[in-house]
Every structure is written in structure tokens, then in C-alpha cells.
Chains A and B, each alone.
Chain A
Amino acid sequence: MKSAAKKTECADEHTERSGDEVTKGKDFPEALEEQTITFQAIGVDDDLAPDGASGEDAQALAASEGADSDAVAGAPASQAQDEPEKPEEPATTDDATAAEGSDASETTSPATDEADDTDEPDSAEGSDGTKESQGTKESDATEGSDGAEGSDGAEGSDGAEGSDGAEGSDGAEGSDGAEGSDGAERTASAEDVPEVVAETPPDPPEESAHVRELPLPKPVSRALTAALSNLKNSVTGLRLGLDVPGVEDARKAQAEILAQLENYVIPRVHMSVAPALVVVVGSTGAGKSTLVNTLAAAKLSATGVRRPTTGTPVLACHPDDRDWFAKGEVLGGMIRVDRPGTDGTLDSLVLSSSERLPPGVALLDTPDIDSVVEAHHEVAHRMLDAADLWVFVTTAARYADAPSWSVLRRAKERGARLAIVLSRVPVRSRDVIDKHFARMLQEYGLGDVERFVINESTVTAGRLPEEEVAELRMWLTELSVDGQRREQAIQATLDGVMSSFRARVPALARHLEAQVAFRAELRTDVDAAYMAALAEIDEVTTNGSLLRGEVLARWQDFAGSGDLMRTLHMRRPGRLATKASQQAPARSRAFKHALRAALESVIVAAGQRAAEEVVTRWRQRDRAGDRLAATPGLGRPSEEFVRRVGRMVGAWQEHVVGLVRTGGVAKRSVAKLVSFDEESLSLVFMIGLLGYGSSEVAEASGTGTLPERLLRGVLGADSLRTIGTRARSDLRARISLLFDEETLRYVQVLDEAGIPDEAAAKRLYQATYNLEVAR
């Protein structure tokens, strides 16, 4: 069961990548969705119910996943079969992989083998497609998804669904899409495999201290590598843009996890018995360089009274191991140099060798962890991330320093193999200090850590007297000679680091979720503020408070000067009628203008308040919101806003005139007698719509307001109602559109700050789970 589970993990990882391939290669719209579905099908015991995985799409996707997963799962399977038989012939494996890559029908053989194993012949039969190759694909799919089912019993129904999909006609399309990416994937694996194999020496020498690369059993290694690189990919892509509390820690954690994966875990998984890297870490002036020099019996690292002394890390190893470190898999990011640069570039690593060092064990002298040069701390921690064993050096004067204990805490968290050197101990008070320190360690839960005490003694040529380090040298030599013990030590650290991912990666994921949630909150703030503004406008335009100031005066002018009466005129040819239709156009224009200005100012004021509201709300959030709110110009409407509002209101007025003209065909009985001026009537309509209501001007008569009654008389109640509804909803729609544009500015600011990927947290959880399964 376990191997099946591993295969699935591996397969899943490939599926995700193949999903990417597909997106790149073709325009495959489901690609994104596919990733999500994949996740659900695999089913980390997350509280994510597989409810979304229904419908044709989901089935097709599940099918494609299944098909894909198997096609890839076939590769390691065949290797797993080949490997034990002919371990000395990497060429065969090569051929096999190449054959798989070239011919799809070849893939069938291991797949059917496994189909037998998992006693699922039904679906293989069920999928008797017309095309043969298609058929095999589909059977593969079934098998693959079955593997998924095996890996986690809880999600059995999901796996079943996947196999359903494989039988369905949709499966063809799904597997088709997957096929394209398969090729790419297979070539990738073809590249991968020989590399690993080539590193295997034809006949591994036994009992030798020079065991360099003894790969883990292949499937395990592959699964682990896949899980790790999956984790790496998930961690790499994270963008933590919002300054929610703890973002600094999260960013640091992200960088650390990444560095550890790149510099240490991934290279180390390949070669578990490579030379052990012993990192010497400690405070400035604790004597790290002196210690390394003494052990190497050569002045490899500079010593002195200046603090901090060492700026560039120095790696000291046995000459035989030099090549391995020069190659640069461990600490890949550092440039290898022969001597420290003058300007102390922190990205380089001095590589030196000494015969006096035991082979298989390399010492790395690091910069300090607590000097004023803060860049040194970072380098030191990066070195620690790559360490197999930690040698922590402190002194009689420093053993209670806070930075020292933070390193010890980190070692404890990581589960790293640790040795502590208490240096510069005055001979007189050796016992007192040693006991005190031991007690402190005991209290801290590090009582059983190996501890070496070095007396305060004169340093000559950057070295201590040999007898001071004899004990430590013995310990190193033992590590060197006893390959098993070394491996144990290395494995312990590696396990510790990988176990630490169990807590650290989900912590990162949780932070990411917090970011996503926080962004959603900020977004809600924006929406709420603008919704409130919209409601306010609604309120103002219905309660009659618009009929004030200039609008009121113009309305009085319009009505009182008789223009309102002249809006209507008798439909009778003659002198009187034509005379009566003459209005003062200036007056109605002024009235229209006043209406427009009032409506504009209401909207502008609401927009202004909404902008301020957003900033206030953001400020009330913590630091991140505050920082975003400080973006200049957010506290006021955009420069374009006023002009846009003007245009919008103008357009709405035109729209209303149009409505009155087209929609408001007068009642037939009226039309015979009376004609009306549309422009003016639409003004009356607007004032009725916006200005009247419960304003003091409105009369509380049961028959309605003045404009309403007039219009009802002219247009009829039905069409008045229709026009009223349409005009109002049109106005609201226009305002919403305007506010949406305003809202966009905030969204932009949020986006610039970094959009946390909502699926990234899930990917992290899954990657952690995959890693756990693969181990």
C-alpha cells in the first residue's frame, strides 16, 4: 500500500506540472481547474469536502488526471522492476525510458501488470474504446485513480469518481490533453534517471570512508525528490505582499525553507553518505576560526582581535573531499573561491583543505551570529541550513547571551545534531562554569548534547594548543571512520529538518491564508464604503432633499412664470396655439442645468465620503491597511471623478428625454387634444422623480405630487410607472458603474501590494502531506 501511495504522490506532482505544460502548450481552459481537482482527488485530510468535483468537467478532469498519473507512474514502476535485476547496467534503464518515451503502446506493459495487481480488470474491459491506444490509456487511468484511492481510504468515493470519468466519453478528451504533456514529462524523467544512475559507482566500495554517493533505493528517492521539488515549487511562488502582522517572520520562514531545500535537503536526499558538513557556529570572538584552524592544523581562517573577524565562510575538508564540495551541490548558491575577497563578499565560500582533517567530515567556519554586521547573521544562518552537524561554539563570557540561545533554540526546533563547545574557559573556574552551563542546558532540554570544554589558553598563529582540542578531534575522527555513525548523524539532521517542515510549511500556509483573508477584508471595506455611498444617493434622491437651493428656485421660476403651463398646449391649428407654445428656452435650460448640478454634487459628495470612508476603514485595520491607506490620493476621489459624474448625469438626462419621447406616448384621448414639449416634460418628470417625495414642497394629498399628477394626466399611469422605474434603475446602474471605476483604484493598490494566490496555501498543505507520505 505504501508504495502505491508514493507512486500516486509522484504521479500527482507530475499531473500538476503537466497541467502547467498544457496551459503553456495549448489553450486548455480547464488547466487551472484541473489543479484544484487534482488536489481534491488526492485528498489531503483537509476539511475541503469534494463537493465541487461534480459535473462533466470534473469527471473529465479526474479522468485526465488518472490517465496522466498512470502514464507517469508507469515509468518509475518499470524502473523499480528493472533496478533490482540489473543494477550495474544503467543503459538498460535508459533504453526502457527512451522506449516509453517513443512509443505509447510500450507503456501498456507495466500498466497492465499493475492492473492485475490491483484486481481491477472490470474497468479495463469496460473501456473498450474504438481506438486501441485510447483504450489502454483509459485502463491506465483507472489504475492510476485506483492508486489514489488506495493512498487514502477516506476519499474512496472520489477515486471511484475518477474511474467513472475514465470510462465516460469525456475521458478521451482528458487523456488527450494529458498525452501532450506526457511526452514532455517523460523526457524530463529520462533526463532525470540517467543522472541519478550515473552517480552510482559501478561497484560501490564497502567499508570505505570514501563512500560518496550511495543513492537511496530508487523509488523512495524518486518519490522523495518529487515531493521535495513539489514543496520547493510551492514555496518559491509565494508572494507575501500585505503587511499583516507576522509577515516579516513569514517571509523569513519562506526564504529559510527555500534555502534549506535548495542547499541542503534536496542534494542530501540524493546522497545520504556524502561527506558530512559540520558547521561551526557561534558568537563573534568565541573562537570559531581558531578552533577550525587548530583542528585543521593550518591557518585556514583568519583570526584576530577585530570583531567581527570572519566575514566569508571558510570550508575546511580533507583533500579527498575537496572535489565533492567544489562541485557545489551543497550550498549551491555560493561562489567557491580560494581566499576571502578583500571586500568580504558574502556570497562566496572559501574552500580549503588540510591533511589533518579526517576524511568524510568537513568543517565550515561561519561568520558570527551576533555582531553589528547584520549581514553576517544571515550568512551564518544560511550555513546552518545546509549543515549536517552543528558545532556551536560559545565562551565562558557569553554562554548566557540571548543570541546564543536563539541558535540553540533553532537547533532544537530543527532537530539538528548538535555539539556544543564551551571555549575560553578560565582554568580556575572551569568546574563552576561547566556545571552552570550544563544546568542551563538541562533546563532547556539540551542536557544530553555532546559538550566539549576548551580552556582559556594562549593562541599562537591562530591556533590553540593541540591538547585542548584532542577530545573534539577524537569525536570528529570517530565520525569519519565510522560510516554508519556518520550516516546516522546525517540522517538524524535530515529527518529533523524534514520533520520541521511538518510544522513550518503549514505555518507558512496559515500565514498565506491570513493574507488572503486580510485582502478579502480590505476588499470588503471598499465595497461596503461604496455601497453605503450608493444607498445614501438613493436616500437623497427619494426623500426630496434634492429639491433645495438652486433646483428649488429654478423650479419655482419654471412653474411660477407659467412655463410649466406652456409645456402643454392644445392641439389645434391656429394663431393662439403657436403663440402659446413659445417658451423661454433659457429658463428651462437653467432649470435643467440646476437639476444636473444638484445631482452631480450629491454624487460627488457621496463619492468623496466613500473614498474617505475606505481610507478610514483601512486605517483601522492594522499596519498593512495603514500602509496601503497611505498611498497618495486614495483618501479623495480620482481626478477624473467629477468630470465623469458630469458626463454621466448629462447622459442620464438625455436618456430620460428619450424615454419620455419614445415611451411616453400620450394617452390616445389626450393626444387628440393636447401636445407637449418633451424637453420640458422630461424636466417635470425628473423633478418628480428626484425632487418630490416626502419633501416639504410635496403636498400630502392622496392623489400624488404635482408633477406626478400632471404627468399621469398626460402620459397615463402605466407608462408613467414604466418610465419611472426605468429611469431610476438606469440612474442607479450608471452610478454603480461610476463607483465601480472608483473601486478599481483600491483594487489596483491591493494588487500592487501583491495578490496572495488563494490556491497556494492548499498547495503548501498538500506538498507537506506529500512529503510526509514520501518519507
Chain B
Amino acid sequence: MTVSGGRAGTMETRSDLGHRMAALAKVVELGPGRVDPALIAEAGRLLLRAGDRLKLSGEHTVVALAGGTGSGKSSLFNRVSGLELSPTGVRRPTTARPHACVWGIDGAGPLLDWLQIQWRHRFARASALDRGESQLHGLILLDLPDHDSIRAITDHEADRLIQIADVIVWVLDPQKYADAATHSKYVAELAGHEAVTVFALNQADRLAPEELAECVVDLSDLLKREGVQHPRIVPTSATTGRGVNSLKSVLAESVAGRRAAVQRLEADLDRVTARLTKVMPKAEAMMVQPTVDLARQEGLTDALSDAVGVPAVGEAMENVYGVRSLDWVGWPFARWASRLRPDPLSSLRIGNLRDEIKAVTAAKVSAQPAEVENAVHALADGLTSGMPEAWRDGVRDAARSQVSRLPEVLSGELSETAPRLDRVPGWWRLLKVWQYLLVALFAAGLAWAAAIVVYGVLKLGQPPADLLGDVSVLPWLGVMVVSVLGLGLLSAIASRNFVVLGAGKERDRLERDMRRRISIVSKDMVVKPVEQELQRYNEFFAALAAARR
């Protein structure tokens, strides 16, 4: 691989990584409240770290020598760097602060600052001058403190650097290579990082060749069991120098590619997304309909209409108008007759209740809060089947976000359109006048007839006018009186029918209007927040899928 080719590859992977990181950022943005906060926090930390690392020198590769106390990290560090930079010793633990050795110091400063390596522990190799080491140019080798001694319990320096170095070289030794402290906490956790992980089996000089071979096989089996598919194991000996060159060449490969930083971040990203993916629903629920479909909206409107009592309001209007119109357009004679009937209320001496009962119809339309709540609930439940629990709650909360205001808004909106049941239309008044006119006519007719009987038939006196004494008028008069009565009755019946017909029409219009208004309100206050949440759901999982690649 030529250097330029490597660069091009790096740029490609960098932009790819950038896209995935952007997707992860979206996940972090949309996730809170829906995903385990610890996971979101971890993803957030990864994003920060990725941003920092990618800003800093891409020409350098940070290689960390990690391992248990006494495995020979510092000795190996010194061997690779060719100088006695990090003190070694027999006392355990030896190294307390990380040391760094840089091949090609240009531009490494900020990176070392970011790694928080103290100034006095930084060393530089002018690699170009060194014989045969030009391929290590760009290497920052770190000698970490151990992670398994009693000191490490309180000091997390090694832990921190293991999490952020580009390449980890696990320095193991025949005694400690199977320690739980190394494997359970790090190696198994970072199993996907094999591209940026090397295992150096140090102190190889302590074993006979056949023992070493057995040891390597055992270690390799162990690593495979832990999920490291193709472990790179380099037997080394810091004492004799054996295998150090192989280690160097493995490192040189990583350094030359200039890709380790990106690979490391990719591996971390894979790990985070794999953990996030565990919360994913089944594939078919990954994408939900981002809008609330018409049938459901219809269902919600129906339920809300019931909460307001739209059909009942219509029915009541029809009935109440029918009854109330009797007072106005009814046949007065019938009304007077019914008044003669005994009234239970007045016999109970609560006659004044009659007005109150009439006043009942004065109340405005309103919505029943509990029913509104249940309706909204039913919508949310229907939409979220198959979603993870946290998201179901999210949708439900979104649906309910304005539920406390909803009944009032509905009431206010609908009372505008719904007529008051105690309304009196003008034509009722006209009809009433007409009816009384007929009654007056009827009375006049009767009086006339009486006058004819008195003056014309009984001849009891001189009629003041001829007409009052003309007996021949009498049959006509009778016809007139009867027809006035009949006209009153007919017009009462007719207008009653008109009232009912009108009320029926009004009812249809009213119901349509109310439903329309309800659906507008519900769309605004329920459907919209729900759709936003569904959108968020889709975006989250789309971003997660993108971050997963």
C-alpha cells in the first residue's frame, strides 16, 4: 500500500465515520427519555472523544502498552524505544504515571495534551535519523500503569488511556495471561477491536519453546472464546529482545496506515451501536407510519364526539324544540285544556320547579374530561403496538400532552356553534300572534252568533246593526267559527311539523359542524404531538440504523 493510497483510504473512511458519528449524534439527541441514560451518556462521551481525536493530529498513532503489574510493560517500552525511558523494577506496582515516546514530534503536542501525559514523561525520537525506524514515524508509544494492582483500584489512569488510545498492545506474561482482571473487564468488552489490538506475550524467555507454543495456542483459544476472531499474538521478551522487532513491524503497519485512530473509533462506535441495538424492536416495527391514519383520526373524532355528547345534543335539540314550540306555535285551546289538568308539582307545593326545569335547557355544550382522556388513550394504545415500552410511553405522553386543556377547548369551540336549547326563533312569535288572532276571530264569531241569536232569533231587542240581527248569516257564521278553529288546529299541526322538520335539519347541520370542529381541535391538540413523536421514533431508529451501518 503506498502512502498516498493510504491517505485516500483514510479520507474515505473518515468521511464514512463522520456520517456514522452524525447519525449517532442524532441518536443521542433523540434518545433521552427513551433509552437507558447510561447508554446515551456513553454514546455522548464517544461523540466527544471522536470529535477531539479527529481534530487532533491524524499523522500520529497512539499505541498504548497495557497489562497487569509485573508483565513487563515498561521493559518492553524501553526495548521498543531503545532507551531507558521508563523506570523498571521488581517492586510491584512499578509505574504509576503513563510515559510517552514520540517518533516525529511535529504536531504531537496537542495530542499529548489531550492524552494528559505530563511534560516530564514525554520523550521524542527523531525517527528519521534512526536507522531502519522510519516506518515508525508518527508513533506515540504509551507505557501505561497497570490496571490490576491494589493501586489501580483508586487510580483509573490506565483505564482512561485504554479507552482512548488508538491501538492497544496488551502485554501479557505466562503467569498472568489468563487473568480475569484483563479479560473480563477489557479484552472481552473490546472484542470487536481486533484491528487495533495486539497481544504481546512477554517474558517468552521464561518458557521452553514447546511450552511457549502451548501457551500461545492456549491464549489464542481463550481469546477466540471471548470473541476476538483473529487475535494477533506476538511472543516477545523484553529481556532478550526476542520478538521486539516483530512487534515493531506490527506497530509500523498500524502507524503507516494512519488509520488506527479511525479504526478505533469505528470499533467503539460498533460497540455502542450494538448495545443500542439491543433496545430495537422487531424489524417490522422499526418504521411506523409517521402519520395517524384517517381511520384512527375518525375513531378519535367519534370518541371525542361521544365525550361531548354530539348525538345526544342533536337528539335533545330535536326533542326539546318539539316540546318547547308547543308554547309558541301550538293550538292555544289545547294548551289551555292541559293547564286545567291537575299538576303533581303544584300539588307537592313545588310548582316553582317548573321554571327551573325549563332552565335546564339553558346549559351550554361541554365535554366530559374523563371520556376525553380515555379517547386519547385509546388512540395512543392503538398506534403503539409492537413498539418498545419506553417509546409507547412517549407516544402516550405526547398524545396526552394537552389533554388537560382539551375539554375546555372543545367546550368553548362547540358552544359557539351549538344553539342554545332555549332559543326562540322569530317565526314562532309570528305564529303565536297568528294563533291569538284566530282565537280572537273565534271569540268574535261566537259573540256575533250570540248577538244574532239574541236579536234575530229571540227578538229581544233592536239590533244595533243589521248584521247582528240577520238570522240568515248564522249558518255562515257557524261555518266561519268552525273553520277558524280548524285553521288554528291545522296551523298548529303544520307549524309543529315545520319545527320538527327544521330541528331535524338543524340537527344534521349541527352534528356535521360539531364533528368538523372536533376533528380540527383534535388534530391540533392530539394528532399533531403524536405525529411528532412518531416522527421522532422513526428518526431515532433510522439514525441508529445509519450509525450501525
Contact = CB atoms under 8 A, between A and B. Distances in A.
A305 B309 contact: no
A561 B350 contact: no
B90 A426 contact: yes
Contacts of A399: 92
Nearest to A604: B374
Nearest to A564: B357
Given A569-B344, A604-B370, A551 B309 contact: yes
Given A549-B368, A635-B393, A372 B322 contact: no
A402 B344 contact: no
Contacts of A590: 312, 315
Interface in A477-504: none
A249 interface: no
B179 A284 contact: yes
A134 interface: no
A400 B370 contact: no
A374 B347 contact: no
Q: Could you tell me the dominant secondary structure of chain B's interface residues? A: helix
A546 B368 CA distance: 7
Nearest to B151: A400
A580 B179 contact: no
A1 interface: no
Interface stretch (B57-65, B66-74, B79-87): B66-74
Contacts of A713: 345, 348-350, 353
Contact of A670 (B173, B341, B348): B348
A598 B368 contact: yes
Contacts of A709: 350, 353
Contacts of B320: 556-557, 560-561
B91 A432 contact: yes
B: contact size bracket: 35 or more
A370 B316 contact: no
B42 interface: no
B369 interface: yes
Interface string B346-383: 01111001101111110101111111011001000100
A706 B360 CA distance: 9
A552 B370 contact: no
Contacts of B313: 553
B181 A401 contact: yes
A545 interface: yes
Contacts of A706: 353, 356-357, 360
B215 A397 contact: no
B466 interface: no
Interface in B170-218: 173-181, 183-184, 207, 211-212, 214-215, 218
B307 interface: yes
A732 interface: no
A552 to B, nearest CB: 6
Given A549-B307, A557-B316, A674-B347, A602 B218 contact: no
B368 A550 contact: yes
Nearest to B407: A548
A115 B235 CA distance: 82
Interface string B400-428: 00000001000100000000010000000
A555 B360 contact: yes
B348 A432 contact: no
B353 A601 contact: no
B493 to A, nearest CB: 18
A591 to B, nearest CB: 9
A600 B323 CA distance: 31
B361 A556 contact: yes
Contacts, number: 245
Nearest to B69: A400
A307 interface: yes
Contact of A402 (B153, B214, B363): B153
Given A401-B148, A401-B149, A673-B344, A548 B366 contact: yes
A433 B316 CA distance: 99
A28 interface: no
B324 interface: yes
Contact of B342 (A426, A565, A570, A602): A570
B214 A560 contact: no
B127 to A, nearest CB: 32
Interface string A589-602: 01000100110011
A19 B398 CA distance: 58
Contacts of A545: 369
Contacts of A674: 344, 347-348
Nearest to B410: A549
Interface in A532-591: 540, 545-546, 548-557, 559-562, 564-565, 568-570, 572, 576, 580, 587, 590
Interface residues of A, number: 82
B363 A305 contact: no
Contacts of B359: 699
A307 B218 CA distance: 8
Nearest to A306: B218
Interface in A383-426: 395-403, 405, 424, 426
B319 A598 contact: no
Given A432-B91, A587-B319, A548 B71 contact: no
B215 A306 contact: yes
A308 interface: yes
A168 to B, nearest CB: 61
B93 interface: yes
Contacts of A570: 342, 344, 347
B175 A397 contact: yes
Contact of B69 (A401, A560, A608, A714): A401
Given A398-B92, A555-B360, A605 B309 contact: no
A690 to B, nearest CB: 12
B370 A602 contact: yes
A436 interface: yes
A285 interface: yes
A50 to B, nearest CB: 47
B152 A402 contact: yes
B319 A372 contact: no
Contacts of A398: 69-70, 92, 175-176
Given A399-B92, A556-B320, A284 B150 contact: no
B369 A371 contact: no
A576 B353 CA distance: 22
A481 B308 CA distance: 97
A216 B521 CA distance: 88
B222 interface: yes
A193 interface: no
Interface in B208-234: 211-212, 214-215, 218, 222, 226
B106 interface: no
A561 B322 contact: yes
Interface string B140-169: 000000001111110000000000000000
A606 B374 CA distance: 10
Residue from A405, A560, A568, A630 with most neighbouring chain B CB atoms (10 Å) = A560
B316 to A, nearest CB: 4
Interface string A323-345: 00000000000000000000000
A548 B367 contact: yes
B309 A554 contact: yes
Contacts of B508: none
A696 interface: yes
B302 interface: no
A77 B112 CA distance: 80
A720 B389 CA distance: 50
Given A432-B90, A554-B316, A557-B316, 7 more contacts: A285-B178, A308-B178, A372-B180, A397-B92, A400-B93, A540-B370, A594-B309
12 contacts: A304-B214, A374-B184, A401-B148, A402-B150, A426-B90, A548-B411, A550-B307, A551-B309, A553-B315, A560-B319, A594-B309, A697-B360
7 smallest beta-carbon distances between A and B, as pairs: A550-B309, A397-B70, A549-B368, A553-B312, A307-B178, A557-B316, A400-B92
